[in-house]
Structure formats: structure tokens, C-alpha cells
Amino acid sequence: MISIFRVEQPLRRLHPVLSVMLAATVLAFKAYADGPTRAQWPQFRGESGSAIGTGQPPVVFGASSNRLWQVDAPTGNSSPIIWGNHLFITGLEGDALETLAYDRQTGKLLWRHSVAAAKLEATHRLANPATPTAVTDGVRVYAYFGSYGVVAYDFDGREAWHRELPTPVVEFGTSASPILSGDLLILARDQDTGSHLLALRKDSGEVAWRIERPEFRRSFATPFLWKHDGTEELIVPGSIWLKSYSPTTGAENWTVSGTSRVATSSPTAGDGLLFSASWNVGGDTDDRVTMESFADAAAKYDANHDGRFVPSELPDGPVRQRFTQMDLDKDGVVTSEEWETMRQMFAKAGNSVFAVRPGGHGDITQTHVAWRVTRSLPYVSSPLFYQDRIFTMKNGGLASCYEAKTGKPLYQDVRVGVAGDYYSSAVGAGGHVYLAAQNGTVLVLQAGDTPEVLARNLLGEEIFATPAIIDGTLFIRSATKLTAFRQLDLR
């Protein structure tokens, strides 16, 4: 391999311009062949959670087009992360919760190790016990499983430490991914009862701090580190509220109220603003779910007059459909306190995409929300800040784009020809926006003021994970495959 690059003498006999061009080409090839040492996509949605990659990924790709490599992958919804030449995912093989390392340039499996949970947590039919995305600092990779806790490995696959944690009490399974801040590994563990934030020391797994969040219920959103003005804020979406904390101590900074009943997407930031999307059933003004007081409901439906409800006592409808969500302690009955908790959540919930200005303290709902839109809202797919715009995708294949500073719609509710649901979040690179639909179609949009669809790439199996982009290579984890796409057509 070394001899390929010993070209100094022949270059001297070429025209000076050609010499420079050939030397640049050779060095670029060598850099790619050796693998860039600084290539990073270290967490869910990449560097700093920005979802912005590097290089120029292909626009058109598939089984016979621009596919660099493809390997089998275990079942799991976690997204790929990358540091240097290592790519990591987690997965479920039988009852084993696995962490896997691959060579990012060839797809070769470098190692795989598993931990065993006493019992795998129950999940939604579309979810998986290996849904949280791992995170890395370039020294270790940290994998979080709701059924087990956290396990840390070095890059050679040796376990550094593990910390078992109680399984969160949430019927749809754990989804929020861990993030790193300095020497701390931070977990958002919102659940039906016992919600809290947990910070572990990344070198040992010891608890650095824990903040209780009793007012919060289940959440599936990954926290975000908002870096601005020489400081960092830990932004945690949750039911009804979006909150900011100190990542070093867990102390609360501010809160924005009126978000959705269940948090499902992660915030992002740019142009000096924080952006968050929040939508769930029952929070739209024209489709709001309302509940009568427990006393009024009991007078109608409490057949045995015991002061609580079982499912058969309630009429069919949106309230009965959420019985298990009201039943916080999972004892099969709903008490007056549990009923009123859900009633207040429906009353206070709101759906929107909104921007927050920095510098707030306390309740900043009325003072620091820069703009808000309430139409064409994404559900799970997180908003993307890219090239001074905010891009969102509503289920059904409805794309929207906003001017980031003002919230001015550049386009809204545009059908892009790929219907269905979007659980994967958008990523941007090379002037393009990449969005993967659940049905396995990866949509490529021009990152501009108009909704220009460049390609609809059919990959043949479902996609829930968010892609990673490094140096022009697009890494996509689908139902049974891990695939790397790169521009290979040199014409």
C-alpha cells in the first residue's frame, strides 16, 4: 500500500499544474483509504445532536446503485454512531442485548458482546428492547437498554463497567438515547411513575446526580445539549413541559409549558435559537381530548361504587383507549388521583413547532418563545436545522420548511410522494435533506426554499433508525441490514 503513494519523482516530470492536481488526488485517496481519524457521528443525530453530516453523499442509491457495502444486522431500532473507523449499533439476538462494532469502511464485524436482562421490557409492536442509540467519546462506547441499564466497552470490545438499573415503567418500551456532557453520561428516564434524570460518571458508572421529575410521565425523546454564548444547557422534552437544566448539577434553569402530552422528538438548535417539535393525539385545538371530572365520571360509570374504575366500566372512546396510560402503578384500576392527573395533562397539552431564545429563567413561556407554528406537525421525526431553515416531516409524507429566525413558512404540507409514517429523523449534508420513511423509502430533498424532491430511494425493508453521514458516506440501518452508500459512479 505504501508504494502506491511514492510518486514524488514522477510528479516532477509533469506539467506543474497537473502535478498539483495529481498530488491532491493521491492525497485525497490516501486519506480515504486510511480512514479519517477525526470522523465523528458520536450519538443520536450525530455531532452535538445536530443531524448534519460532512461530504457529498449520493442522491440516488439502492441495491444496484452506489452501495459501498451491506451486512446483516440483528433486530433493533437504534441508529448507527461513528468514531474514526469504528461504527457501533445495538441489537437484540434472542434474549441477548447486544452491542456491535463494525469497520465503517468495509462493514466487517469487529466484535459483538451482549448482556442479559432478568426480563426484557414490554414494547410497542413497532418498538424493540434495543431502541436507544449508543453514544461514544472516542475512548468508550456506552450502550443503554431499558431492560438492563448501561454497559461501557472500550474500542477493542473489553467491558469497562456496567450499571444495572430498574426497568422504566412504561408499556411502550424505552426509547430515549443517552448523551454525554463532559465527564457525565446523562439519561432521561421519564416513565409512568418515578420519572427522573440520571447522570453517571462516564469513567466508572457511579451516580453523579439524580433529579426527580414527578410531574412528568412517559417520554421517548432524547435530551439535547444546547451550546450557546459560552455555556451549555441540558434540554429535556417531556409531557406538557420543555425544561432546561444544568448538565453539571441537574439544577433547573427554565421551563416552557404547553407542549404535547407525550414527548417523542428531540430538539435542535441554530442561528442563536433552540427548536423543538411537539405533537401527540388530543392536543390540537380542533381535535382536543377532554375528560370530565372524576366525580362526574364516577356518577355515570362507577357501577360498583368503589371509587375507582376498571376498563369495563368506561364507555368506548379515547379515554378508555388510554386506560393503561392512566393506570400509573399498573394495578389494573384507575383511582381518582390517576384520573385527574390524566385529565390535567389533556387540558394543558399543546402541539406545535416552536423556537426559544436564550437567556431565560423560570417560566419563559410568554417571554422567550420566539415563534410558534401549529400546523403540519411531525410526530416522532425530529426537526432539522440546516442552512438557516427548519425542515419537518409530518406522518403521511407532508413536508414543511421554515425560516429559522422568524418561523416564516417557506412551504407547508407539501406531499412528497412517500406516504406513511416517519419514525426516523431527518439528516442533512451536501445541500440535501435525507428522510427515511417507515416503509423503507429514503427521500432526498433539495435544502432550499421550495420543495424539490431529488430522489425516492426504495431500500426494500422497514426503517426506524436515523441515518448517519460521514465524509460523503450514508449509513442506513434497516430492519435486518446495515448498509453504507457512497457516490461510486465516477462518470
pLDDT for the residue numbered 39: 79
Give the H or E element holding residue 235: strand 231-237
Fold match flag (40-280+349-485 vs 294-347): no
Q: How many CB atoms lie within 10 A of CB 223?
A: 27
pLDDT for the residue numbered 290: 84
- pTM, two decimal places: 0.87
171 Cβ contact partners less than 8 Å away, ≥ 6 residues apart: 122, 124, 192, 324, 325
Rounded Cα distance, 427 and 165, in Å: 32
* Segment-wise mean pLDDT, segments of 10 residues, the chain, 491 residues: 33 40 38 51 97 97 97 98 98 97 98 96 93 98 98 98 95 95 98 95 98 92 97 96 98 96 95 96 75 92 94 92 87 91 84 97 97 96 98 98 98 97 98 98 98 97 98 98 90 48
Rounded Cα distance, 159 and 150, in Å: 11
pLDDT for the residue numbered 312: 94
Beta strands, E only, 258-375: 268-270, 273-278, 352-356, 362-363, 369-373
Q: How far is CA 190 from CA 216, 241, 264, 285, 437, in A?
A: 6, 12, 12, 26, 27
pLDDT for the residue numbered 55: 96
Rounded Cα distance, 186 and 203, in Å: 13
Rounded Cα distance, 54 and 13, in Å: 35
pLDDT for the residue numbered 355: 98
pLDDT for the residue numbered 345: 81
Name the phi and psi angles at 210, rounded to 5: -140, 130
So where are the chain's domains?
2-34, 40-280+349-485, 294-347
Output the CATH code of domain 40-280+349-485: 2.130.10.10
Rounded Cα distance, 460 and 453, in Å: 20
pLDDT for the residue numbered 343: 87
CA 21 from chain centre, in angstroms, equals 41
pLDDT for the residue numbered 13: 41
CATH of the domain spanning 294-347, picked from 1.10.238, 2.30.30, 1.25.40, 1.10.3470: 1.10.238
Rounded Cα distance, 488 and 469, in Å: 16
Give the H or E element holding residue 91: strand 86-93
CA 452 from chain centre, in angstroms, equals 25
Q: Which residue is listed with cell 432521561?
A: 188
